[in-house]
Amino acid sequence: MKKRICFCILICGILLFSTSVSAYDLPSVNLGFTSFLDGGPPSGPGFYVQQYIQYYSADQFNDSDGNELALPDPDMSAWISLTQVIYQSNQELFLGGKWGLNFMLPYVSADADYGANGPFPEANGAGFGDILVGPFLQWDPVIGIKGPRFMHRIELQMIFPTGKYDSDKEINPGSNFFSFNPYWSGTFFITPAWTASTRIHYLWNSENEDPNRGFGSVSDTQAGQAVHLNFSTAYELVPKKFRIGINGYYLKQITDTQADGSDVDNSREMVFGIGPGFVLHMTKDEHIFFNAYFETDAENRPEGSRYNLRYVYHF
């Protein structure tokens, strides 16, 4: 009798997953990589190299109602190494904004295990992700009597499908389609020691002409449009040395995914994450950020925790 019950649970899990996997198709985007003081570079114009190491783990996959899919002991994890090179000029280009260029190269190692044999979502191992290129305009800080009051930036990010991809795997380093992911970011100095920052993205995706097997026999798919944002607030405990605060992110898909030009019902993704973080200003040119996030309210995606370490060096 016990074996029959376990078998029924397994079959239910497979059926539930087969109806939901086609919704897990948004590309990897900036969820929690950036946080405090995000409205401007920490050390002014020049070249920057930034190295991110992020660890993500999840032990549940959610459906379109935010309920956990009946998969047998799912355990998904991913290590993400993200190398970023930025040039911030000191030359005004438009409305006082100074031009710059952002280049990012990710490397992803993902794994997914279960308490029984599938078919379940499979990870495509380790490999380079999609290259990101973003021209931007950075405005100088607005200065008040006691120092900076506000700084902000606009960037036109483009994500190119250069990463490792296999249509027979559901969890890939690359997305196999182009994405346009522009954003506006700003930092408000509530007091000289207390800041609040946000980065608000819009996401548009082109067609994937080799969709993953979760979509069945369709010839092409197009992931839905989305908005996502990072937000944070921090307080400077040690002047010019150490800040501590709260950081979070939110993602909401606003249009349905399409398969062969038709909307896929119940395909929109959502997630909210929040947690503590800090910034260590080692010198005026070296900075270390740490952020932790714990997810909730996930729909059509995994729900887990995320830890992010970021090193910034200004030449």
Q: What is the pLDDT along the chain (315 residues), one digit of tens a residue?
A: 433 333 333 333 333 344 445 557 899 999 999 999 999 998 889 999 999 999 999 999 999 999 999 889 999 999 999 999 999 999 999 999 999 999 999 999 999 999 988 778 888 999 999 999 999 999 999 999 988 999 999 999 999 999 999 999 888 999 999 999 999 999 999 999 999 999 999 999 999 999 988 888 899 999 999 999 999 999 999 999 999 999 999 999 999 999 999 999 999 999 999 999 999 999 999 999 999 999 999 999 999 999 999 999 999
pTM value is 0.91
Q: Which residue has the tokens 């992700």?
A: 129
Domain ranges of the chain: 2-314
What pLDDT was estimated at residue 121?
82
What class does CATH assign to 2-314?
mainly beta
* 214 contacts 23 by C-beta, under 8 angstroms: no
Query: Residue 248: which of 36, 39, 79 has the closest Cα?
Result: 36
Distance CA 117, CA 104 (A): 37
